[in-house]
Structures are given as C-alpha cells and as structure tokens.
C-alpha cells in the first residue's frame, strides 16, 4: 500500500480524495494548524519522519469568487510549493493542481501564483500537474455553478446567468480516478494535464442539461451573451463518468439527502 502525504485535506478535492481512496492508500493529511507548509524546517521534519511515495498537494489559498485574493495568498501558494519541491525525487513523487486562472485570470494574486507555480515545475521529473478549470461533486462548494443550479432547478427557481460563456466543468469523481491512476502508474515523467472534457458547453447549456435532468420548471435567464471562454484542451485517456452522469449523481445525492 502506497504512502500518501495529502495537503489541503480539509478542502473539497482533498476531502474527496481522502474519502474515496482511504482504503486503497495509506494517507496522512495533517491539518494546517498541525503543519505549516511555508515553514521549511517543520515540513522537512515531517517528511523525513515518514516514507512517502507520493505527495498530493491540494492545499491552496485564494481562488474563490466570494473572497478577494491577497498578496499573502500569492506568497503562501508559491512558498508551500517551493518547500515541497525540495523533497521530490524518484522515491517521492508529486501531484499538484494548477488552475485555468493561470491562463484566463493571471493578473490577480491567485491566478498569477498558479502561473508562476507551473513555470517553476514545468518539465521537472516526478511531477504531475493537473489543471482544473472548475470541478464539482457531492462534497463541493454549495455556491458553485453546478451545485447552485441544481438546487435552484429542484426548487423551480429562476437560474440567472450573468455572462454566458464556454465553461469547462469537470466531475470530481473523474478527477480522483485520474489521480489514483497516476499514482498506480508511478511514472517518473513530467505530465501537464487539463482536467476537461472534449465536449464544450456554455453555462446556459449546462443549466439546460440540469433543468432537463431535474424535470424542472425553472426559467433560464441570460443577462449577457459572451464570446469569453474558460476552457482547456482535453488530453485524457481514461474512462470518464462525464459531465451529464456526474451532474446526475449529484442530483440523486441531493434528493436522497432531502428524503
């Protein structure tokens, strides 16, 4: 059984990975109050006292639309990654998560930190860099587009889209399966993977899909049609649950919770 050091275990992706893979891997996920990733000597002591096969680096500061990113977020993201990289080798590999923000929102503190992070690790061996544009799932944020749209449709409330653009949403179940497969393959090569589907949808298309799956009477109100996009390039070669089935899984989960 491989030993995994999971950072950011209290976040959406970290919690989902731990819940899905705790029986497959031996996972250690100290809280931020127990281990400060920006403190090199504390990190060194922790890693050297354990023999890790992989570090799954989910910890991140910023990137939420409900909160303004700060210089401290930028420093925390870069410093944490820089410290972790000191311990990456053939025996201890790294999976880290980039963001579509490094391409589409690189002028804010979060997006720029992700851009710099990718430049730091690019083409270095023993690293897998997974770029997430948007991910959704059963343990996800309730204010995410997919989750909030499902809830509105189940209540037959209007779904208001302020800027209707192409937008990549990726089911967290597919993300976790990808992470698990990369760990199993244990390749030494650098890989940069956009976690997106080959089919591209506008926000209104996703809303219509949710409306149909919930048999809702909600109105989909589009305030602005946009030529903007927040999408990546699909280069995945694994079996995928997919957008529609992922959304359906969340709908059934919410309905079961309510009953």
Looking at 8-17, 63-72, 200-209, which range is the least confident one?
63-72
Question: Is 80 exceeded by the pLDDT of residue 65?
Answer: no
Instruction: Output the CA–CA distances (angstroms, integers) from residue 8 to 1, 53, 97, 99, 189, in the order listed.
Output: 21, 17, 11, 16, 24
Asked whether the predicted pLDDT for residue 27 surpasses 70, the reply is yes
The mean pLDDT value for 46-75 works out to 86
- Averaged pLDDT score across all residues of the chain: 93
The residue with tokens 């029986």 is 23
115-140 residue pLDDT tens: 999 999 999 999 999 999 999 998 77
More confident residue, 193 or 226: 193
DSSP string, 170-195: EEHHHHHHHHHHHHHHT--S-EEEEE
Band (64; pLDDT cuts 50, 70, 90): low
What angle (nearest 5°) sits at the alpha carbon of residue 133, between those of residues 125 and 210? Answer: 140
- Residue 63's CB is within 10 A of a number of other CB atoms, namely 19
* pLDDT tens digits, one per residue of 82-109: 999 999 999 999 999 999 989 887 678 8
Q: Give the domains, in start order, of the chain with CATH numbers.
A: 1-132 (3.40.50.720), 138-167+198-259 (3.90.25.10)
Confidence category of residue 202, pLDDT binned at 50, 70, 90: very high
């Amino acid at each position: 059984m491989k030993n995994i050091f999971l950072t950011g275990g209290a976040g959406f992706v970290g919690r989902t990975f731990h819940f899905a893979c705790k029986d497959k891997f031996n996972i250690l996920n100290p809280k931020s109050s127990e281990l400060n990733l920006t403190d090199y000597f504390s990190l060194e002591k922790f890693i050297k006292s354990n023999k890790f096969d992989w570090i799954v680096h989910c910890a991140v500061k910023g990137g939420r639309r409900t909160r303004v990113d700060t210089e401290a977020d930028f420093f925390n993201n870069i410093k944490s990654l820089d410290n972790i990289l000191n311990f990456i080798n053939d025996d201890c590999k790294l999976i880290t998560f980039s963001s579509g923000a490094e391409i589409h929102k690189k002028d804010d503190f979060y997006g720029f930190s992700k851009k710099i992070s990718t430049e730091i690790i690019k083409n270095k061996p023993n690293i897998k860099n997974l770029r997430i544009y948007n991910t959704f799932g059963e343990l996800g944020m309730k204010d995410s587009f997919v989750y909030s749209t499902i809830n509105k449709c189940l209540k037959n409330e209007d779904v208001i889209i302020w800027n209707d653009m192409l937008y990549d949403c990726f089911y967290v179940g597919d993300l976790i399966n990808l992470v698990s497969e990369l760990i199993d393959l244990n390749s030494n090569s650098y890989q940069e993977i956009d976690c997106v589907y080959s089919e591209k949808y506008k926000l209104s298309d996703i809303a219509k899909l949710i409306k149909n799956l919930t048999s809702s009477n909600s109105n989909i109100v589009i305030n602005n049609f946009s030529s903007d996009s927040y999408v990546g390039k699909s280069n995945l070669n694994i079996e995928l649950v997919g957008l529609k089935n992922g959304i359906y899984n969340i709908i059934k989960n919410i309905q079961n919770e309510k009953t």
